[in-house]
Structure 1
Amino acid sequence: MARPSLYLASPYGFSPHWRARLLPDFITALEEIGLDVWEPFSRNGQVDLAEPGWAWRVAQADLQDVRDADALLAIVNGTPPDEGVMLELGAAIALGKPVFLYRDDFRRCSDSEDYPLNLMVFSGLPQQGWQDWLYGSIDELRDPSKALMRWIGSR
């Protein structure tokens, strides 16, 4: 049986240091729990940035991967979080995909006393128990009582 695919929406591919230090931690942790991780910087990194139209092709490839993936994990650090990540998250929500959020940034960026981010970020999560879909550490991704491991187990 094929491993479930997870699109990893992250701003970490733009910096060589983050690409070398942060992304591998996420990819390894997610692969270890049984996921096929679709990381857009490695999947679409073969684009020649000197070639006209490269940005449109990258955006289209990323959007197609969001469409094709089984679920999406969005790294939503920052105040506000990266706008590309937010668009990928919004597309996944609109497509009805399971979405999971990762935020280990303690700063609040919210117009609501209930949520740490803009309330629309949480529109793809259940009203009750949304906290099970939000992760604050890489180790927490393995927590069998939280939504990601329950989702993997249901497949």
Structure 2
Amino acid sequence: MTSKTIYLASPYGFSAQCKRLLIPEFVAALSQLGLTVWEPFERNGNVDTTKPGWAYRVAQQCMQDVRAADGVFAIVNGTPPDEGVMVEVGAAYALNKPVFLFRDDFRRCTDSDQYPLNLMLFAGLPASNWQEMVYDSVDAIQNRERPLGQWAQS
């Protein structure tokens, strides 16, 4: 069986400290499920930001990766979460890709008592038990009984 690819939508690559300390934890947890992780900061790491058009090329590559990946794992911390991550999640929903969310940020940014974030972030998740698709720790990501682990093995 070929391993599935998962696109790691994250704002953490913009910070050297987060890139060094946090991203590897997520990549390792997802890889332990047998997934091939596409981490966009690594995949676009050789971009020369002094050349005109670099941002457009990066955005196009990220969208191509979302289209080509089997699913998306999105880190949605912050109030509101990172705009680029939100675009990637929206694209994945439009492409009918499975999306798994990570949020360990206790702050709420919604008008809803039911959801911790903008309602549209939950539009592509199941109506009932959507909480199962939201992870709040790296340890939870590695749980093969949860939806991400089951999807990885299917």
TM-score between both structures, scaled by the size of structure 1: 0.97
Q: Give, in whole Å, the separation in 2 of the partners of 1:105 and 1:125.
A: 19
The answer to whether the Cα contact below 8 Å between 2:100 and 2:134 also exists between their aligned partners in 1 is yes
Distance 1:43 1:126 in 2: 30
Residue segments in structure 2 that go unaligned for 5+ positions in a row: none
Equivalents in 2 of 1:118, 1:46: separation in Å? 34
In the other structure, the counterpart of 1:45 is: 45
Q: Report the equivalent of 1:67.
A: 67
CA distance in 1, matches of 2:78, 2:115: 14
| Alpha carbons 2:66, 2:88 under 8 Å: kept | yes
Would the aligned equivalents of 2:109 and 2:118 in 1 still touch at CA under 8 Å?
yes
1:24, 1:15 → 2: CA distance?
13
Matches within 5 A, 1:25-104: 25-104=25-104
Instruction: For residue 153 of structure 1, report the CA deviation from its aligned partner.
Output: 2.3
- Give the whole-Å Cα distance in 2 for the aligned partners of 1:123 and 1:21: 31
1:2 is aligned with what amino acid? T
Percent same amino acid at aligned positions?
A: 60
Contact 2:33-2:144 at 8 Å conserved across structures: no
Amino acid at match of 1:136: D
Matched, 1:140 2:140: yes
Q: CA deviation at 1:91?
A: 0.3
For 2:107, the equivalent position in structure 1 comes to 107
Per-residue CA deviations over 1:88-115 (Å, capped at 9, x if unaligned) read: 0000000000000000000011121110
Deviations 1:47-99, CA, capped at 9 Å, x for gaps: 11011100000000000000000000000000000000000000000000000
Deviation at 1:121, TM superposition (A): 0.3
* Structure 1 segments (4+ residues) deviating >2 Å: none
- Alignment gaps of 5+ in structure 1: none
CA separation in 2, counterparts of 1:145 and 1:128? 18
Tell me how many residue pairs correspond in the alignment: 154
